[in-house]
Structure 1
């Protein structure tokens, strides 16, 4: 049996209990069965027929029974817990932490109360904001490793990173989140040396119960991460079973230099402009030059090459890199998502969706899996599903600007104007945060341009557009997004001039689909000049597919 934690709720399927803050909530037997079924299958949309068959087997019931129980669950869990996917069914969409309740071998009994642990983002004390990727990577690895211990309840990465760059009152946070312990630390990297300070804090008292400083060479980074995780587990008085120890010690590569290059590449590949894709591809290739069997690096290279293929007409679309990643590990979620992204870019959507589903089942908490699935959903007009995936992507990465910005198009397509404005504000906040550390971050600037246009701030939109053009002139993706912003502001001629200049420089297959769906451009669609541009783009796409 398993227990599932989502928000303040704990669903214990074995005990058939749903509690909130430790208080059991009244729930009918059918409603409990439905909730358990939907949580267990949360990675996909469930049809109404599937739910009816699972909850009322061998019994013919009206669909209205399903509607009544969905309504009852929403009253208990909140209206956003169960999403209605028009024409398809329902999906449980709250972030879930699952904990398998596996009896320990005799002589290895664990404490009965599972510690609940929050790992705060480790602070980068290197006096170099560009090293954030490294401290964030250490934090993510500690969260991942602790999550492999069945006796621990570990707060998800998406929640943990909401505390990044914030002063945290540990005792108060522990009370608010019902935590037993909090991990906090700092990372200082200088050349080939690394210093990590880490401590485990008692949530009830706010006092450290374990603390240590580690000074190591960068080549020892993996052993160091293992030591930190195992020291935390020991301080919690939890004993690792052999399988957990093996899982903690498993690494995507044995080479620290390749791993650091991958962490750098991962930061850049989420910023969807030509320059960042070029940097990500170069760094991923450098990692692979060191370790050719590094599957995650192959997947990242596939995504970056495909991005470049769409934006600049590169001759390499990433398919070979994605297939190499899958040859190394057929169950690597990021590799499946990467290949799906490649196939969607080639217009092979049915194949892409099959791979997206597989990747989602393997790792629903991967940013790449969620973001790329959302992108393909948007390209095919599946806006509600795109919203689910892109909103989840924004939760999974505080550094994300792409999903936060893109999801506004889906809200506009479904008539939710207030949500469009809300996502624009969120995008602007994130963009300004990035720019406070790096004023020449082109993707933050162009994300801000689009957000400001959605908010109707004409002068600031134009000022930011000038800034981003100065930072990165000639990038067709930036020009395209400036055109979208001008269209949103009603600056028709400026939008058309910019589109006329940039569309001949992009991959026609990718952009013919995107332009057809991008409602930022809706004010232009009835104009003959825009229609001519679209016809030319579609003709090039047809020729490329032939």
Structure 2
């Protein structure tokens, strides 16, 4: 059986060992068995009955025994490792990396050696004269991370963690110590017309000296061979031997067309900006890539997930569903396509199918922002607030650009009575919104999430100021008006909230908002009012007609 790494811990089930920084930790037999079960089933909620059956087979025990083992594990792993899902069970929520330990030589630094090379690929720097070429350097970085992750004998830091270092000066030796790394990959990309220059080097972590470095000058048409060459050079420098299946996996490409690939990289870059304007750009670029290569499965998946973000659950989301199904026909294991399809099915009320697809997408890629965000949204819409918290909090960790999950999760904390966390998440969201606005003062999504955060914090004056700002930027978007109405309701300005809802609800997509408004506790102060009930009744009638 494989071993598992989560944070500084390594779980080796076959050896019945749990270590932290190389030191074996004392853990009782039942607690160890429970940990193995929870890690193996980390992609879902494990019921108490399932855990009892696995840890105490053929023995009738009281549920209090389970509580004792949960406490023991939390004491060792930290209080957040196992999340309690009220009425259902527990879920292991730490990020897990699976690997097979392979002894490799390591430099003599006087410190503990690591079982496998653990590698961080820092975001490659864009040294082109055009800052708009950033998408290309980001894309090269992501693909190198993806290719290295296909090598079983390597432990590669996930993309989302790696990109937290983007734009920062990095002390390689200190970062290696902090993250228990053996090596760091860094480099730069310069693209000019159809010519590419990539400088890359592999740095030994503790000492900070280069193990391998090379400069590559190629035509854009050679980009795929170039990526293979860089990946295989890094693997060779790490003294790891590729097995044939790994070499084939690295050399396999979802498209052979460099132009389609470049359009896909641009689309992926815009999608990570996580706002409606960039979702629209990402959708358009993905469609252009597909016009060149209709069999490009990743482009279909990106189109699906971008259109889901762009259209929500509206009738137009049918295009996202079609794109997801096309992607899955080409590759049934594309996590984002599964997540997009699940989300649309949930909007159609097909929840059993939706949750099954969400679970599959999570098993395939638990570190995907899109997978986590959409799963959280479906959980929220069905009142599964504790699970929504798990997914949305993980989404905020996976993307520093996120505003949506950070903002939405406050409603889940309110629904579960965790009022201090409502304020904490509002403060976090406000900080993120202000960071976006420092770069682009006209970002309407950052402004409206700031409006919501300020209202939750009770800052009426700034809430109204920001509301005026966002209306000046985007006066016609009914979803912005809806969120302003929510803010006014939170501030106790009932008539203003109702007037705003009366204006905007006839203009919103009825399917999306009829589902959302049922769970939106920002509007709880209005629910008993006849005028609000009439507005919601009209909205539900339109939704029913649209789905008839």
Same-fold status (TM-score > 0.5): yes
Inter-partner Cα distance in structure 1 for 2:440 and 2:305: 24
Contact 1:129 1:437 in 2 (8 A): no
Residues 212-269 of structure 1: CA distance to partner in whole angstroms, max 9, x if unpaired?
Answer: 2333333333222222211211111212111111112222322233233333333444
Q: How far apart are 1:491 and its partner, in Å?
A: 3.2
Q: How far apart are 1:195 and its partner, in Å?
A: 3.0
- In the TM superposition, 1:486-497 aligns within 5 A as 486-497=488-499
Q: How far apart are 1:519 and its partner, in Å?
A: 1.3
Contact 1:158 1:397 in 2 (8 A): yes
1:466 to 468, 482, 486: 468
Contact 1:198 1:211 in 2 (8 A): yes
Distance 1:212 1:282, change over 3 A: same
Residues 133-170 of structure 1: CA distance to partner in whole angstroms, max 9, x if unpaired?
Answer: 43333222222221211221222223322322322211
Inter-partner Cα distance in structure 1 for 2:508 and 2:463: 24
Distance 1:303 1:479, change over 3 A: farther
SS in structure 2 opposite 1:212?
strand
Q: How far apart are 1:128 and its partner, in Å?
A: 5.4
Inter-partner Cα distance in structure 2 for 1:189 and 1:265: 17
Match of 1:8 in 2: 8
Using the TM superposition, name which of 190-199 and 292-301 deviates more: 190-199
SS in structure 1 opposite 2:10?
strand
Match of 1:259 in 2: 261
1:178 to 177, 180, 197: 180
Match of 1:67 in 2: 67
Match of 1:412 in 2: 414
Normalising by structure 1, we get a TM-score of 0.92
Distance 1:470 1:257, change over 3 A: farther
Inter-partner Cα distance in structure 1 for 2:388 and 2:114: 41
Inter-partner Cα distance in structure 1 for 2:442 and 2:2: 47
Normalising by structure 2, we get a TM-score of 0.92
Match of 1:86 in 2: 86
Distance 1:73 1:97, change over 3 A: same
Q: How far apart are 1:516 and its partner, in Å?
A: 1.0
Inter-partner Cα distance in structure 1 for 2:439 and 2:254: 30
Contact 2:197 2:217 in 1 (8 A): yes
Inter-partner Cα distance in structure 1 for 2:59 and 2:305: 47
Distance 1:177 1:278, change over 3 A: closer
RCO higher in structure (CA 8 A, sep ≥6): 1
Contact 1:303 1:341 in 2 (8 A): no
Q: How far apart are 1:394 and its partner, in Å?
A: 1.8
- In the TM superposition, 1:142-291 aligns within 5 A as 142-269=144-271, 274-291=276-293
SS in structure 2 opposite 1:252?
coil
Using the TM superposition, name which of 455-464 and 70-79 deviates more: 455-464
Using the TM superposition, name which of 419-428 and 384-393 deviates more: 419-428
Inter-partner Cα distance in structure 1 for 2:201 and 2:173: 14
Q: How far apart are 1:184 and its partner, in Å?
A: 1.7
Distance 1:38 1:464, change over 3 A: same
Gaps of at least 5 residues in structure 2 are: 105-112
- Are residue 44 (structure 1) and residue 44 (structure 2) matched? yes
Residues 284-324 of structure 1: CA distance to partner in whole angstroms, max 9, x if unpaired?
Answer: 21121111112222233233434444487648453222221
Inter-partner Cα distance in structure 2 for 1:437 and 1:304: 23
Inter-partner Cα distance in structure 2 for 1:179 and 1:315: 43
SS in structure 2 opposite 1:480?
helix
Match of 1:107 in 2: none
Q: How far apart are 1:131 and its partner, in Å?
A: 4.1
Contact 1:421 1:455 in 2 (8 A): yes
SS in structure 1 opposite 2:395?
helix
Inter-partner Cα distance in structure 1 for 2:475 and 2:196: 37
Q: How far apart are 1:75 and its partner, in Å?
A: 0.5
Match of 1:327 in 2: 329
Inter-partner Cα distance in structure 2 for 1:268 and 1:492: 38
Inter-partner Cα distance in structure 2 for 1:485 and 1:479: 10
Contact 1:115 1:151 in 2 (8 A): yes
Match of 2:434 in 1: 432
Distance 1:532 1:78, change over 3 A: same
Inter-partner Cα distance in structure 1 for 2:131 and 2:482: 29
Q: How far apart are 1:82 and its partner, in Å?
A: 0.5
Inter-partner Cα distance in structure 2 for 1:118 and 1:53: 40
RMSD, aligned α-carbons: 2.4
SS in structure 1 opposite 2:408?
helix
SS in structure 2 opposite 1:292?
coil
Inter-partner Cα distance in structure 1 for 2:148 and 2:216: 19
Inter-partner Cα distance in structure 1 for 2:430 and 2:224: 36
Using the TM superposition, name which of 529-538 and 419-428 deviates more: 419-428
Match of 2:20 in 1: 20
SS in structure 1 opposite 2:46?
coil
2:296 to 288, 294, 312: 294
Distance 1:482 1:74, change over 3 A: same
1:526 to 520, 525, 528: 528
Using the TM superposition, name which of 41-50 and 122-131 deviates more: 122-131
Contact 2:280 2:306 in 1 (8 A): yes
Inter-partner Cα distance in structure 1 for 2:332 and 2:544: 32
SS in structure 2 opposite 1:285?
helix
Gaps of at least 5 residues in structure 1 are: 105-110
